[in-house]
Amino acid sequence: MQADVTTDTPTSDTPVSESLSIVIPMYNEEDNVVPLLARVHEGLAGYAGPWELILVDDGSTDATVARLQDEARRYGSHVRVVTLQRNFGQTAAMQAGIDHARGTVVAMLDGDLQNDPVDIPRMVARLVAEDLDMVAGWRKNRQDNLWLRKVPSRIANRLIARITGVHLHDYGCSLKVFRGDVIRDVRLYGEMHRFIPAWVASLTSPARIKEMVVNHHARKFGESKYGLSRVYRVLLDLLSVYFFMRFRARPGHFFGRIGLVFGAIGGVALTWLLGVKLFLGEDIGTRPLLLVGILFVVMAVQFLTTGVLSELLTRTYFESGTTRSYTVRPPRGEQPEPGWKQP
């Protein structure tokens, strides 16, 4: 699977008027709320279509929710707050936002002002002009710690690109723009948000994904929610991504292969013994090989049935369409009808 990824940054100036949903996950970002909303409105001021802003509070324990709700009231019905029951993690928060997004184009970014909303219209324009599925941000001038952040993520980017076959410079950049129908077909759970380009590429072929250089700022308020433990978590995730990409929706093939190898070894052993018994007339009842043969055949059956079960599990769990990786708290009191900010 080779994604068509180029890294040039031509800016298309054709005004686009697609409806746009901007999704932002927020976890304990109280001091970022007010400047973030201001920056989004500044950045989108010249956008030629209707847009909405979906702010997902991922179980914050500080004043984030209260401030989000104040700001939503102040700005109007195009700003919506989705409050999760507890902290479900960035991936689930993003999925919650996608599920509430109504736009034909969906943009996602972080709520800590590290991404710059002013990049969004440019990215949407490119998505529409070139009929892409996704435009990924590339923090070419990344404002993060070199050894704790930039070096590990450079290694991770290479590995992810290698394993998924989708070559991007910057998997970790949260600022991304998608065609709504495409991102709605991706179901995010666990910590899958780091591999979204790979999932998008696995949905459409050839993958229409491009990168654009975007602004990046150092975090001013609050702190990063991830420490160094992310490095090994990404590595473990990568292992399961590899498993998933190779045996996507077909875990039975993984177990099936092991089962077939065991079955073949057991089968050869037993056939050999049968030959010895029939043609040489020797007694095979006491041969250790008999035990090995039977054991391998039994294990083969076990692996094959495990494979079938895992197929059924994957299907019913993730493809039922009802599985959610989060729960939403119903809003209190009267809520305005969701609206659009008209240009």
Give the Cα separation of 274 and 340 in Å (integer): 77
Residue closer to ligand UDP by CB (options 204, 215) is 215
| Cβ at position 109, least distance to ligand UDP in Å | 8
Which of 43, 49, 103, 111 contacts ligand UDP by CB under 6 A?
111
Residue closer to ligand UDP by CB (options 29, 211) is 29
Q: Is residue 225 at the binding interface for ligand UDP, with CB under 6 A as the rule?
A: yes
Q: Tokens for 23?
A: 């999704």
**β-pairing verdict for 134-138 and 51-57:** unpaired
Residue 225 binding partner per list Mg ion, ligand UDP, none, with a CB distance cut-off of 5 to 8 Å that depends on partner kind: ligand UDP
- The answer for residues whose C-beta is within 8 angstroms of residue 66's C-beta and 6 or more apart is none
| Cβ at position 89, least distance to ligand UDP in Å | 5
Q: Is residue 112 at the binding interface for ligand UDP, with CB under 6 A as the rule?
A: yes
Interface with ligand UDP in residues 145-204 (CB under 6 A): none
| Cβ at position 90, least distance to ligand UDP in Å | 4
- The answer for residues whose C-beta is within 8 angstroms of residue 70's C-beta and 6 or more apart is none
Is 1 in contact with 165 (CB distance < 8 Å)?
A: yes
Reference 85, options 60, 108, 53, 64; nearest CA is 60
Interface with ligand UDP in residues 20-59 (CB under 6 A): 25-27, 29, 58
Reference 178, options 195, 160, 164, 197; nearest CA is 197
Residue 77 binding partner per list Mg ion, ligand UDP, none, with a CB distance cut-off of 5 to 8 Å that depends on partner kind: none
Residue 226 binding partner per list Mg ion, ligand UDP, none, with a CB distance cut-off of 5 to 8 Å that depends on partner kind: ligand UDP
DSSP string, 140-168: TT--S-IIIIIHHHHHHHHHHHHHHS---
Residue 87 binding partner per list ligand UDP, Mg ion, none, with a CB distance cut-off of 5 to 8 Å that depends on partner kind: ligand UDP
- 3-state secondary structure (DSSP) of residue 316: helix
* Binding region for ligand UDP (CB under 6 A) out of 87-95, 180-188, 199-207, 316-324: 87-95
* Binding region for ligand UDP (CB under 6 A) out of 19-27, 249-257, 263-271, 327-335: 19-27
Residue closer to ligand UDP by CB (options 84, 209) is 84
CA 88 to chain centre: 14
Which of 43, 50, 89, 121 contacts ligand UDP by CB under 6 A?
89
Q: Is residue 83 at the binding interface for ligand UDP, with CB under 6 A as the rule?
A: no
| Cβ at position 166, least distance to ligand UDP in Å | 20
Q: Which residue reads 């055949």 in tokens? A: 297
Which of 9, 12, 77, 87 contacts ligand UDP by CB under 6 A?
87
Residue 322 to residues 103, 150, 196, Cα–Cα distance (Å): 21, 37, 20
DSSP string, 20-78: EEEEEEESS-HHHHHHHHHHHHHHTTT--S-EEEEEEE-S-SSSHHHHHHHHHHHH-TT
Residue 82 binding partner per list Mg ion, ligand UDP, none, with a CB distance cut-off of 5 to 8 Å that depends on partner kind: none
Give the Cα separation of 341 and 51 in Å (integer): 5
Give the binding site for ligand UDP (CB under 6 A): 25-27, 29, 58, 87, 89-90, 93, 110-112, 114, 224-226
